């Protein structure tokens, strides 16, 4: 018998679906409206006055007045906000800073305002509601749900609270989900990630877990500890667990490992949240890509990734994007980020409605020899090479080997296997062939004998976890880069098998 909570969830899901359809059916007009509202509301801020927002009447004028910036470029304004000044990037003061660790900037303080915060919560909620609307499955709302996230303990800086985004969001779990939510607040506050996961295992083992959510690499750690403690598959421990919600990294490299740990297939929903905004979520189980959130106080621009580092790259709006092109995504938001480069590259999989995948990071690529290899390509190559085999990969990263002891330079793949291949050379060959097929620059370099085919270096069990722990980035929102244009991660790497 269906519960009242489950029945109400279905009704609410239909209402939200219809609401979302209104803006997905009018995407360009929706974005124009968002653009005008942002410019109008920020015209009296310091940033707005510096860039003459009051006389901006078109997107072309905005492009002329507001250059693309990354965090370092915006830092002089952010520092004023951090110092407690009002009306700098957005009216008033932010209500939070999401503190993130930048690779070049040290700590970054990303403002979250009273206007932007609700959209972080709504998008996560709507992703689940659209799943209910599509599948008719709402029974899971009666079970327990776990969200593996950072500590909800927040600091205060000049009257503004700051913490990790996931810790901030933890304070906004709707009342109707409070009783279903795991882990306990006390456990969520544990800072040491391994201690926290052990506590979560103890708390969740006796519960009816129906939704499990988090970054795949850290959920994997939780699943492995469950299995070590019980000797059972996760799907046998939690009989009603049928929905995995994830974000932060591509799930595909983990899928085979997860299905083995769970013991069966489960539905999954991909999210695209960031401290700067909640950009997209998977709205259909059988459609590739995530629905871009066009009505969430964020105005989007795109620059072709291949042109991004040229002197004057062309900026376009959603109206002019094309399928299958690798773009750098630029955002302007109701948290006061303006023509801001978040560092992600995306690729559209559908234009009606606008769906995209995250293809990588503009800084995370290999082009030591002009090959322009991106994260999506290495993930796809590994997936294709291990398809229909029993090879399972726990984690991997790729780096260029520019000065080998002998022979031509090559790409070195550091892979931690759960199930190793019988023939490592054959796996390397398959990965290399897939990469050549996807990337014409790489193909030309291999065929032209500038590079030799890639080589695989085995990483010992839990080697990448140990590495992340050694640099103080175990758990939470931290992610291992899929590839780098240098050897900083792997130079002197002590975790090789």
Q: How confident is the model over 414-437, as pLDDT tens digits?
A: 999 999 999 999 999 999 999 999
User: How would residue 477 be classed by pLDDT, with cut points 50, 70 and 90?
Assistant: low
Highest mean pLDDT among 23-27, 386-390, 469-473: 23-27
Check if the beta carbon of residue 431 is closer than 8 Å to that of residue 420.
no
Q: Which residues of 108-129 are buried (b: 16+ CB within 10 A; e: fewer)?
A: bbbbbbebbbebbebbbbbbbb
Can you give the pLDDT at residue 314? 96
The burial of 96, by beta-carbon neighbours within 10 Å (0-12 exposed, 13-18 middle, 19 or more buried), is given as buried
Pairing of strands 243-247, 365-366: unpaired
The dotted CATH code for 365-470 is: 3.30.300
Rounded to the nearest 10 degrees, how much is the dihedral formed by the CA atoms of 358, 267, 128, 292?
20
Give 137-161 as a DSSP string.
--GGGGSEEEE-------EEETTEE
In the chain the first and final C-alpha atoms are separated, in Å, by 53
CA 475 to centroid of chain Cα atoms: 14
Q: How confident is the model over 257-279, as pLDDT tens digits?
A: 899 999 999 999 999 999 999 99
Q: pLDDT > 90: what percent of the chain?
A: 62
Q: How far apart are CA 365 and CA 311, in angstroms?
A: 20
User: How would residue 177 be classed by pLDDT, with cut points 50, 70 and 90?
Assistant: low
**Could you state, in order of their start, the residue ranges of all structural domains in the chain?**
1-362, 365-470
Sign of CA dihedral 192, 196, 198, 199: positive
Can you give the pLDDT at residue 368? 80
pLDDT of 39 > 90? The answer is yes
Q: Which residues of 202-235 are buried (b: 16+ CB within 10 A; e: fewer)?
A: ebbeebebbbbbbbbbbbbbbbbbbbeeeeebbb
Number of other residues whose CB lies within 10 A of the CB of residue 18: 10
Question: Which residue is it, tokens 């106080």?
Answer: 297
Can you give the pLDDT at residue 476? 64
pLDDT of 105 > 50? The answer is no
pLDDT of 104 > 50? The answer is no
pLDDT of 453 > 80? The answer is yes
Two tokens, residue 283: 């709205």
Pairing of strands 326-333, 160-163: unpaired
Fold classified for 1-362: Rossmann fold (3.40.50)
Q: How confident is the model over 274-322, as pLDDT tens digits?
A: 999 999 999 999 999 999 999 999 999 999 988 887 888 999 999 999 9
User: How would residue 220 be classed by pLDDT, with cut points 50, 70 and 90?
Assistant: confident
pLDDT of 103 > 80? The answer is no
Q: Give the helix/strand (H/E) hosting 271.
A: strand 267-274
């Amino acid at each position: 018998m269906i519960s009242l909570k489950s029945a109400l969830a279905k009704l609410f899901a239909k209402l939200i679906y219809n609401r979302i359809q209104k803006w997905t059916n009018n995407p360009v007009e929706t974005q124009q409206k968002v653009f005008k509202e942002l410019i109008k509301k920020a015209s009296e801020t310091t940033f707005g006055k510096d860039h003459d927002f009051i006389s901006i009447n078109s997107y072309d004028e905005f492009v002329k007045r507001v250059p693309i910036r990354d965090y370092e470029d915006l830092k002089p304004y952010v520092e004023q906000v951090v110092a407690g000044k009002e009306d700098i990037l957005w009216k008033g003061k932010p209500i939070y800073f999401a503190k993130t660790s930048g690779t070049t900037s040290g700590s970054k303080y990303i403002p979250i305002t009273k206007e932007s915060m609700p959209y972080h919560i709504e998008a996560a909620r709507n992703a689940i509601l659209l799943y209910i609307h599509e599948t008719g499955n709402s029974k899971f709302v009666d079970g327990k749900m776990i969200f593996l996230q950072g500590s909800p303990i927040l600091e205060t800086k000049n009257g503004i609270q700051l913490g990790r985004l996931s810790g901030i969001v933890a304070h906004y779990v709707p009342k109707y989900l409070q009783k279903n939510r795991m882990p306990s607040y006390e456990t969520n506050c544990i800072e040491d990630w391994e201690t926290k996961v052990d506590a979560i295992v103890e708390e969740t083992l006796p519960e009816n877990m129906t939704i499990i959510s988090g970054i795949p690499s850290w959920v994997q750690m939780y699943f492995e500890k469950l299995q070590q403690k019980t000797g059972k598959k996760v799907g046998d421990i939690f009989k009603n667990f049928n929905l995995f919600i994830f974000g932060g990294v591509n799930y595909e490299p983990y899928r085979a490992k997860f299905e083995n740990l769970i013991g069966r297939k489960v539905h999954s929903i991909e999210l695209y949240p960031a401290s700067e905004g909640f950009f997209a979520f998977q709205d259909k189980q059988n459609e590739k890509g995530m629905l871009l959130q066009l009505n969430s106080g964020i105005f989007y621009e795109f620059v072709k990734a291949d042109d991004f580092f040229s002197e004057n790259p062309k900026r376009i709006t959603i109206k002019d994007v094309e399928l299958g092109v690798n773009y750098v995504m630029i955002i302007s938001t109701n948290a006061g980020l303006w023509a801001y480069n978040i560092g992600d590259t995306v690729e559209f999989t559908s234009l009606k409605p606008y769906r995209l995948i995250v293809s990588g990071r503009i800084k995370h690529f290999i082009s030591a020899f002009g090959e322009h290899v991106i994260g999506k390509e290495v993930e796809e190559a590994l997936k294709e090479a291990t398809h229909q085999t029993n090879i399972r990969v726990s984690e991997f990263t790729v780096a260029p080997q520019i000065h080998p002891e002998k022979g031509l330079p090559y790409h070195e793949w550091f892979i931690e296997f759960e199930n190793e291949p019988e023939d490592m050379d054959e796996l390397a060959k398959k990965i290399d062939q897939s990469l050549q097929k996807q990337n014409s620059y790489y193909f030309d370099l291999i065929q032209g004998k500038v590079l030799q085919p890639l080589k695989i270096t085995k990483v010992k069990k839990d080697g990448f976890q140990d590495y992340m722990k050694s640099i103080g980035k175990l758990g939470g929102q931290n992610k291992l880069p899929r590839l780098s244009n240098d050897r900083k991660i792997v130079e002197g790497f002590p975790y090789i098998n």
